[in-house]
Amino acid sequence: MDKGYEKERFESLSIKRSVAKKFRKYCRSISKSQSMTLLLMLEFFRDHGISPMDSLGPNLMASEVRIMKRINAVIAIMRDMEKTQTKPTAAMILSLFEESAPHEKPLILEKNRGEKKPPKYTERNDKT
């Protein structure tokens, strides 16, 4: 017996034998009583605002198209965030944690020869 409906009386409905057989088979497949199955069907149609005569094909296709558009918009937003925020921030953090050694070779101090004055030292890049 269905819970909550034990004290209710049964009512009879007139339906075709072929429809009754299909309905009973469906009730067995979902493991519900005939009354509960019919109640669930009625609540489904009422809750979703659809009629059994409506075709769900176009409605489902329109919903799928809307969902795909939203997914594409989210993907575009994420790509933009990655390009404008994540990559530059990661590059700045990486540059902060790199070694402080410069990428070029260190400068070498060279003695100026040929002058009689006290020797002066000049810096030059050793790129040879």
Tens of pLDDT, residue by residue over 70-112, are: 999 999 999 998 888 888 888 888 888 876 545 566 556 655 5
- DSSP designation for 53: T
Alpha helices in 49-112 (DSSP H): 57-81, 87-97
Residue 10, pLDDT above cutoff 60: yes
Average pLDDT over residues 30-47: 91
> Residue 120 — very low, low, confident or very high, per pLDDT cuts 50/70/90?
low
b/e string for 47-81 if b means 16 or more Cβ within 10 A? Answer: eeeeeeeeeeeeeeeeeeeeeeeeeeeeeeeeeee
Comparing 25 with 84, the larger pLDDT belongs to 25
Stated as kind and residue range, the H or E segment containing 110 is: strand 108-111
21-30, 60-69, 103-112: least confidently modelled range: 103-112
- Tell me the CB-side half-sphere exposure of residue 126, using CA atoms within 13 A: 6
Average pLDDT over residues 111-126: 59
Stated as kind and residue range, the H or E segment containing 123 is: strand 121-124
Contact 107, 125 (CB under 8 A): yes
